[in-house]
Structure 1
Amino acid sequence: MLRVAVVGSGPSGVYTAQSLVEQQSVPDVRVQVLDRLPCPYGLVRYGVAPDHEKIKSLQNTLRTVLEHPRVEFLGNVRVGEGGLTPERMLELYHAVVYCVGAATDRRLGVPGESLAGSYSATEFVSWYSAHPDADAAAFPLDARSAVVIGVGNVAVDVARILARGADELAPTDMPQGALGALADSRVEEVHMVGRRGPAQAKFTTKELRELGALPGAEVAVHPDELTLDPAFADPSGLPAVNRRNVEVLRGWAQAPPRGLARRVHLRFFLQPVALLAGPEGDRVAAVRFERTAPDGQGAVVGTGRFEEIGAQLVLRSVGYRGTPLPGLPFDEERGTVPNAAGRVLRDGSPAPGEYVAGWIKRGPTGVIGTNRPCAKETATALLADAPSLLERRIPDDPLEALRRLGQEPVAWHGWRSIEAAEAELGQSLGRTTVKISDWAGLLEAARRAAAS
């Protein structure tokens, strides 16, 4: 029996488990999917916007894998910082696959970035997604103007949630605290700003169009900024998604104002150079941008002209970066674990029994579906190594070994108990399922299963 631990229960981890148990070359593979959180699904639960029900329904696919008879989910297990070391993990399993994602945001590196009112988009997403590490009171939303720096899908999600009415979000599983804050929100202007042009924006057309469908908000674009992009006049040479994006923006540029209560401004060719404090000196009051211009080779250069946008809330969404896991090698420049086809490399050579998949393997690129071939490649490498991996002696029951090491795993029935508690919470609030947003509440709900 080949026993494998997969660290991380997001799409890359679950697809890795699926690839391991559905193959035919090694007939008896048992996989334990470990997660620091008591809940599975990773960014599908804690990163997909609550109003994106179709994408969130991917949880049903992931659930099928985690309920496979040779797959076991164990939440509330800490690996790495403050928990089990990679060395100790190899004492419990024949192989370990780390699917720990890219947990931190890239910073802007400009003065004023640490002022009060300045956050990463991930902090905001974690807040409205009920991540138990998030500060439930972090976003009172008393700002009238917000700036979102970045023009990818996460930036669009953040801008949409800020501009969306709380009544529209009540049918979702958004935590009650976040829903209440959005109901009391004073935000009227949301500025989503990119340093390059509309033809280079990273959002998908579907996400972009959703901004124009908000019943209580209208989209505003600056035609002079659109025409700065050489591809705007003739987008025929662009990839299909970028071409469709340009067409959507062209339509908005030609549409008359509708006079709605909130506005989402899409701005281009502006690069942040500083966050400026207000009179009190410790809170952000504006963002200073330098106007950029195309350099003719797909990049932009500064023009020496500047513009300020007033904002009491600033959210940066300029990409993600992997963080080192103590005990594993780490490439600081790429933000990944060095690997060859998923095999972890130590001093340039494959480390027996250690593997990676997902963003920590390849960097923060691709969409959810990109994790399937990535996971399959890693699983194929692991299975090819199975004869040598099976030579090591490990405990008959890793779960008991985890408990002896001080871990308190939340098994699948504990997670189902959390689901039931969230359904009860939603019913008590006159809503559908509502997420529990704190560690104590999640673990209490999980323990109900052990007591029943």
Structure 2
Amino acid sequence: MTHVVTQPCCGDAACAFACPVNCIHPTPDEPDFATAEMVYIDPQACVDCGACVKACPVGAIKPESRLTAEEHVFVELNALFHADSDVGNGLESPTRPAQAPVPPVVRIDGSRRLSVAVVGAGPAALYAADELLKQRQVQVRVLDRLPTPHGLVRAGVAPDHQHTKDIGRLFEKIESHPGFAYELGVEVGTDVTHDQLLATHDAVVYATGAAVDRRLDVPGEDLPGNATATDVVAWYNGHPDHVEAPLDLSGDRIVVVGNGNVALDVSRVLLSDPESLASTDIADHALDALRVSRVRVVEVLARRGPAQAAFTVPELVGLLHHPDLDVVVPQRELLDGDDVKSRLLREGTVAEADPARRHVVLRFLVAPVAVLGDGSVTGLEVTRTSLVTGPDGVVAAVPTGDHDVIPTRAVLRSVGYRSAPVPGVPFDPVTHRIPNVGGRVLDVPGGDVLPRTYVVGWAKRGPSGFIGTNKSCSLETVNHLLSDVAQGRIEAVDRPEPLRATAGVLDREGWLLLDAHEREAGRRAGRPRRKVVDRRRMVDVVEAARGGR
């Protein structure tokens, strides 16, 4: 018997380093770690010791004997990744080294006091704080413009993926370190400046993510009825800036342009039985809206074919086995490939929808031309595409000129993300990232290193990878920061104490009180938590809890 990595894999790779026989790959030091959909256990090398099970922060690893029927596909996926022969599935991995080396952590003088501000409170920020706090005499202050931390784990992971949110337990351990502090509800550029942070800290690390959606750049994109998948995700997850429904749920059809994991997440949540979501941490306002929603069909559009689909195999498996909906692929002729995605779609989808059931239509080889409507969206004009392989081997979608119109009242774009500039911090308008080399921020793209300023996560490398990818990304940056300390590039001077948090700003204790309130409210309702979504209400809950002690 072997152990198997299954659908909720977050890419943390802690399991790889816990494995005594080096059978879990790719590891963060290997080239394909950044592009692999998950990590995979070699069934031939696995000794069934269970060390990986304890190391996994989201419970994604199971013994083969305990897999459910829908999880058995992961036995094959894990084996294919480690296959020696070329079987044409796109998952092959090169020969592995004898053991996966753990990147060395730079050590600094234990008598050297170091104060670091981390801007952002998502996974990349907290992984960076974790690496910093492994040193003696280090203080880390994590700031975020929201009153709640954990970034996309709280506001981006779908509510029906509670296992993925279990990584929050790791974040709780990081937050409990005596050198850790929060200032939540503080925005850099509005409440505090970059220069003020540098004046009161030895270094500043930016972990501001990539929260701006790319545009389609087609006519009609700004008509009422257009929205982004990110807006919908934030809405049903209770993001305080997205309380109002971003889309019209009174029609029977929604069109999503783009076919990545977020597109499938949104489709699945919009079509799920609301009562099945009632036991999750979905925001109350979203649950109420979904209970009266008339949406029966979500069409997901992809420029390229099934083999090039942007969604991952684990996400596809979850959609195909969802009990509340069917998955329809009308273009059956496109599913004859021997790649894993084509095979799963061929075996797990139908050509025509059952009108009695809600369904997701996956439509390939189609690209948007214009959003139609007079005052609001009435449809989406699309063109069919064909695939052309360039000299570099990249498969591109080329418009054929054959047009169709899909009637709909709502169009969601889900075609990628960009970082937004932070006032006072360099920004590359071409790559839409903070310019950097290995996490050291540059004054201009290709320019000189900016003193005492660093970046991690999507703001550093672009919107790629999974939650756990930020672990190795943050380690690289923190190692460079610590090297700069060790080599005297960050001087040991007495810096003034940062200003204390003002009214309406939550510290670590305040977050813990709010967290406890949400969990208790959820417990009473038979849910993991019931989120407070109003900023003022968050502060009131904390103040009431403090006053009641």
TM-score scaled to structure 1, two decimals? 0.90
Code of the residue aligned with 1:335 in structure 2: it is H
Shift of 1:206: 1.7
Code of the residue aligned with 2:129 in structure 1: it is A
1:363-411 deviations in Å (ceiling 9; x for gaps): 111111111111001100111111332334312x32xx144xx575311
Q: How does 1:167-182 map to 2 (within 5 A)?
A: 167-182=275-290
Which piece of structure 1 moves more, 57-66 or 135-144? Answer: 135-144
**Equivalent residues of 1:196, 1:270 under 8 A apart:** yes
Shift of 1:276: 0.5
Aligned residue in 1 for 2:382: 289
Aligned residue in 1 for 2:150: 41
**Equivalent residues of 2:336, 2:343 under 8 A apart:** no
**Equivalent residues of 2:121, 2:151 under 8 A apart:** yes
Name the CA distance, whole Å, in 1 between partners of 2:471 and 2:208: 15
SS at 1:299's partner residue?
strand
Q: For 1:153, which of 237, 261, 269 is the aligned residue? A: 261
Cα distance change, pair 14–388 in 1 and its aligned pair in 2 (3 A): same
SS at 2:403's partner residue?
strand
Name the CA distance, whole Å, in 2 between partners of 1:67 and 1:321: 32
Name the CA distance, whole Å, in 1 between partners of 2:277 and 2:350: 30
Q: How does 1:45-444 map to 2 (within 5 A)?
A: 45-80=154-189, 82-139=190-247, 141-224=249-332, 226-227=333-334, 232-235=335-338, 243-253=339-349, 260-277=356-373, 281-297=374-390, 298-347=395-444, 348-386=447-485, 387-395=488-496, 397-398=497-498, 401-403=499-501, 408-426=504-522, 431-444=527-540
* Identical pairs, percent: 42
Shift of 1:430: 6.0
Name the CA distance, whole Å, in 2 between partners of 1:322 and 1:374: 16
Name the CA distance, whole Å, in 1 between partners of 2:473 and 2:170: 17
1:275-334 deviations in Å (ceiling 9; x for gaps): 111xxx211111110000011331011101001111111111000001111101110010
Aligned residue in 1 for 2:34: none
1:10 pairs with 2:122: yes
SS at 2:495's partner residue?
coil
SS at 1:379's partner residue?
helix
Name the CA distance, whole Å, in 2 between partners of 1:285 and 1:256: 24
Shift of 1:258: 5.0
Aligned-pair RMSD on alpha carbons? 1.8
Shift of 1:207: 1.1
Name the CA distance, whole Å, in 1 between partners of 2:382 and 2:409: 15
Name the CA distance, whole Å, in 2 between partners of 1:407 and 1:328: 26
Name the CA distance, whole Å, in 1 between partners of 2:385 and 2:301: 12
Code of the residue aligned with 1:203 in structure 2: it is F
Name the CA distance, whole Å, in 2 between partners of 1:223 and 1:250: 10
Higher share of residues assigned helix = 1
Shift of 1:137: 4.1
Q: Structure 1 stretches of 5 or more lacking a match?
A: 236-242
Highest RCO, 1 vs 2 (Cα 8 Å, sep ≥ 6): 1
**Equivalent residues of 2:330, 2:352 under 8 A apart:** no
Q: Structure 2 stretches of 5 or more lacking a match?
A: 1-112
**Equivalent residues of 2:329, 2:351 under 8 A apart:** no
Code of the residue aligned with 1:271 in structure 2: it is A
Name the CA distance, whole Å, in 2 between partners of 1:328 and 1:150: 31
Name the CA distance, whole Å, in 2 between partners of 1:376 and 1:449: 36
**Equivalent residues of 2:454, 2:481 under 8 A apart:** yes
